[in-house]
A and B are shown apart, each in its own frame.
Chain A
Amino acid sequence: QKEVEQDPGPLSVPEGAIVSLNCTYSNSAFQYFMWYRQYSRKGPELLMYTYSSGNKEDGRFTAQVDKSSKYISLFIRDSQPSDSATYLCAMGYMDSNYQLIWGAGTKLIIKP
């Protein structure tokens, strides 16, 4: 079993829809959780970063962490075609020697 599981998609939704992207994990030691967005042929770009359970909002993006269920989500409101990209979750813990554990990424397609 992988430490971090993420559905590769593709996930295709119409413009304006609310998008939900998810990762599950098995290591209860993970302390911090990140979402990266990666456009085709580009490097990943950090979107959201959180330590704690609960919700964190930034514009149209909301990151949700449920440590009891070992489940994290990224919600995108009012989705735009420019949101079409691969979304990768990543997580780690303080004693991990700076290593992040990555999901494989979900490819998201927003149809105009």
Chain B
Amino acid sequence: DAMVIQNPRYQVTQFGKPVTLSCSQTLNHNVMYWYQQKSSQAPKLLFHYYDKDFNNEADTPDNFQSRRPNTSFCFLDIRSPGLGDAAMYLCATSSRGVTEAFFGQGTRLTVV
């Protein structure tokens, strides 16, 4: 019954090696978000899509990119992961005009 599904749950990547995290949703929500959450910190918004319109937060590093090929799927690409990019990455969705966000279980990224 999972509505926002993130894969993989755990990802280990090498320093500098590109990595892609994926998110899919069965809610048919217009808005999809990617957040980065480090230990004991609030989620930090990286970017969001309103339908196909991409919105990048001003302080999101250029190293982070995103793609949304259709309503159901969204990807987070980290082009050259550094040790500081190790974190939990959370995908969330919400519906137009509705403000509460529904989260996936997250992908915990380890950079070695």
Q: If the complex has contacts A41-B108, A98-B31, are A105 and B42 also in contact, measured as CB distance less than 8 A? A: yes
Q: Does B26 contact A (CB under 8 A)?
A: no
Query: How many A residues are at the interface, by size bracket?
Result: 20 to 34
Residues 28-42 of A, flagged 1 when their CB comes within 8 A of B and 0 if not, give: 000010101000011
Which of chain B's residues have a CB closer than 8 A to the CB of A49? 99-100
Query: How many B residues are at the interface, by size bracket?
Result: 20 to 34
Q: If the complex has contacts A42-B106, A43-B90, A43-B106, are A102 and B101 also in contact, measured as CB distance less than 8 A? A: no
Q: How far is the CA of A92 from the CA of B101 in the complex (A)?
A: 12
- When the two chains form their complex, are residues B102 and A42 in contact, meaning their CB atoms are under 8 A apart? no
**B contacts, CB < 8 Å to A:** 4, 6, 31, 33, 40-43, 45, 48, 50, 55, 88, 90, 92, 94, 99-106, 108
- Top 5 A-B pairs, shortest CB-CB distance: A102-B42, A43-B103, A43-B106, A104-B42, A43-B105
